[in-house]
Amino acid sequence: MIHPLVLALETSCDETAAAVLRFPGELLGHVVASQADVHAAYGGVVPEVASRNHLVHVREVTESALQQAGVGLSDVDVCAATSGPGLASALLVGASAAKGLALALGKPFVAANHIEGHLLSPFFGRAEIPPSIGLVVSGGHTLLVDIEGAGRYRLLGRTLDDAAGEAFDKVAKLLGLGYPGGPLIEAAARQGDCTRFEFPRSMKCSGDFQFSFSGLKTSVRYLLPKTSESDRADLCASFQEAVVDVLVHKAVGAAKRCRRNLIAVSGGVGLNQRLRECLVRGAEDAGLEVLFAGPSLCTDNAAMIAYAAAWRAKRGEFSSVETDIFPSLGDTLFEVS
């Protein structure tokens, strides 16, 4: 397939999304139904609630994306869906729907990897993927990957506990700010002094590219009883600075060690302006470049899944409709070091 038309579904967490894309980057249709308001009442994503809402919305977003694209199901060359990592009950909805469409249409199926979607999202629309260091920072994942090209990835390190976005959400919950926590902490931090509280930079000087943010979250919890409402902005700024400091240090270090000149940033935390400022400055000081995924591609979406699936289809790498979902990250995406 030279320029496959891909229909992709994304239901790995709490967004139900569908996209129609012509390789490499002609996004013909893209629809996202967010559940953020639903889960805000619980202070975080509830898997059972997420999967039930996916069942309600998956047909609607699929039909809307096709209508937006001006194509019918018969025009689709490849059906794809995020098959992992993610919430098992949520993944099943999108994967089952895409498999059903593939069987009914007699078209090939791609079991797309959510992390690959993020890794490739900064390069969305390009027909070539340059060597780079991929920094994925989202609510569920924080990892550094050496990208040799499309489909060739080497895992350098990942979080050993909480992801960066998860730490933002949990600290926001401790502070009573609401969900999702990242934008709320960032907003409060703009009015604060990031040097007021000295929080730990766990594993910053560990000599590897692993991350740990659980201890940082615990430090905030222990400090809270000693603070007042007037300290809130300073606390948010200091917490945010600790997260950003570690991410920048490790990303720049990975690029230097792997001799890559480009750092490609993706995931919802990639929207954080303080991270962007510090990473650009740190990269410039090291003679490196930084490329961020577009804002609409940072949070969970089907466009990046369609793009990743199109690369797979282009190489003839299709999946059996009997392929199971894979909720955990695992190592199947990555080459052995």
pLDDT digits (tens, 9 = 90+) for 260-303: 999 999 999 999 999 999 999 999 999 999 999 999 999 999 99
Q: What is the C-alpha end-to-end distance of the chain, expressed in Å? A: 31
Residues 134-176 pLDDT 10s: 999 998 899 999 999 999 999 999 999 999 999 999 999 999 9
* Beta carbons within 8 Å of 104's beta carbon, 6+ residues apart: none
Average pLDDT of the residues of the chain:
95
Fold match between domain 5-121+297-314 and domain 131-292: yes
pLDDT value of residue 330: 72
Burial of 199 (0-12, 13-18, 19+ CB in 10 A): buried
Residue 336 pLDDT greater than 60, yes or no: no
User: Residue 89 in contact with residue 50, Cβ under 8 Å?
Assistant: yes
pLDDT digits (tens, 9 = 90+) for 38-73: 888 878 888 889 899 999 999 999 999 999 999 999
DSSP state string for 1-18: --S-EEEEEE-SSSEEEE
| DSSP-derived secondary structure letter, 324 | P
- Do 126 and 27 form a contact (C-beta atoms < 8 A)? no
For residue 91, the one-letter residue type is: L
Indicate whether 337 pLDDT > 60.
Answer: no
Q: Who contacts 166 (Cβ-Cβ below 8 Å, separation ≥6)?
A: 139, 140, 213
Strand order in the sheet with 289-292: 152-158, 142-149, 132-137, 262-266, 289-292
Domain boundaries, the chain: 5-121+297-314, 131-292
Q: For 55-64, how does the pLDDT look when each residue is reduced to its tens digit (9 = 90+)?
A: 999 999 999 9
Residue 331 has what pLDDT?
Answer: 66
Residue with tokens 């949520």: 90
Fold of 131-292: Nucleotidyltransferase; domain 5 (3.30.420)
pTM above 0.85, yes or no: yes
- Rounded to whole angstroms, the Cα distance separating 191 from 238 reads 11
**Range in 24-38, 97-111, 113-127, 221-235 the model is least confident about:** 24-38
The CATH H-level superfamily of 5-121+297-314 is: ATPase, nucleotide binding domain (3.30.420.40)
Evaluate whether 136 touches 147 at the Cβ level (below 8 Å): no
pLDDT > 70: what percent of the chain? Answer: 99
pLDDT value at 114 more than 90: yes
